[in-house]
């Protein structure tokens, strides 16, 4: 049976490209969506040559909310799986100093991703099938001084995905929340990350493919993060506010 394509939103990112490779290797056609999508021509050619799957490029701006419905209308085929890898970490100090910088981080990690997935959710619900995958973050599980702008946006996105999953549970549409923890990407290359807590983009991609196949609800790419965040969530506030995590 012919497989419906997988739509990768934020396909220019290291995780987005890794997800594209992982699904193409499983025999799925791929739709790569990003800003300046023509710049992904080399990635398109590589995927097609390597896996023999059809790959299409689509211009997509997560912050152009008014264009989201039209973006879906213009896809050559409604995907069977959509993976949202859109995100912007930003610099906490810059976000604190300039509210407009903070707004971009908030919109990039919550408003934009929630909007496009909301549109896709309605289309999938009408069809009665599909899988929506949102890449959120463990940073959303408790606000911390070092990244609370980014973390608060991800907290909102995690809650959105949870509500969407609850809403669509009886409609044939499944929603997966991905909590990767640290990932070795261009976005984190300036950070000194602990090896045991840091996944590779390909590791995240493989976890997403498995999660869609097994209809998992929430996944920590490295299970140790579930324990780490359980500890952080349960630190008493009087103690927590004295820490610099």
Q: So which residues are the catalytic ones?
A: 150
Per-state percent for the chain, helix, strand, coil, to nearest 5: 55, 15, 30
CB 51 within 8 A of CB 99: no
**What residues have CB less than 8 Å from 217, skipping those under 6 apart?**
165, 175, 176, 177
Of 166, 176, 105, which is closest to residue 135 (Cα–Cα)?
176
Query: Tokens 């930003």 sit at which residue?
Result: 90
Decide: helix, strand or coil at residue 113: helix
């Amino acid at each position: 049976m012919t497989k419906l394509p997988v739509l990768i939103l934020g396909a220019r990112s290291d995780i987005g490209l890794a997800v594209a490779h992982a699904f193409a290797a499983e025999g799925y056609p791929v739709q790569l969506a990003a800003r300046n999508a023509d710049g992904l021509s080399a990635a398109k050619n590589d995927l097609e040559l390597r896996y023999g799957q059809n790959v299409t490029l689509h211009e997509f701006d997560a912050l152009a909310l008014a264009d989201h419905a039209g973006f879906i209308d213009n896809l050559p085929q409604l995907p069977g799986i959509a993976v949202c890898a859109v995100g912007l970490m930003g610099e906490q100090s810059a976000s604190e100093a300039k509210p407009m910088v903070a707004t971009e981080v908030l919109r990039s990690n919550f408003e934009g991703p929630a909007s496009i997935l909301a549109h896709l959710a309605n289309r999938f619900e009408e069809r009665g099938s599909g899988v929506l995958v949102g890449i959120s973050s463990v940073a959303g599980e408790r606000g911390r001084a070092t990244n609370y702008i980014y973390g608060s946006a991800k907290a909102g996105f995690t809650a959105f995905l949870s509500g969407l999953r609850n809403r669509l549970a009886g409609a044939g549409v499944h929603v997966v929340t991905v909590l990767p923890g640290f990932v070795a990407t261009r976005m984190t290359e300036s950070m000194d990350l602990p090896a045991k807590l840091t996944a590779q983009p390909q590791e995240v991609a493989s976890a997403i493919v498995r999660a869609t196949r097994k209809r998992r609800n929430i996944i920590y790419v490295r299970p140790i993060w579930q324990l780490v965040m359980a500890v952080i969530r349960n630190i008493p506030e009087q103690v927590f506010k004295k820490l610099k995590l």
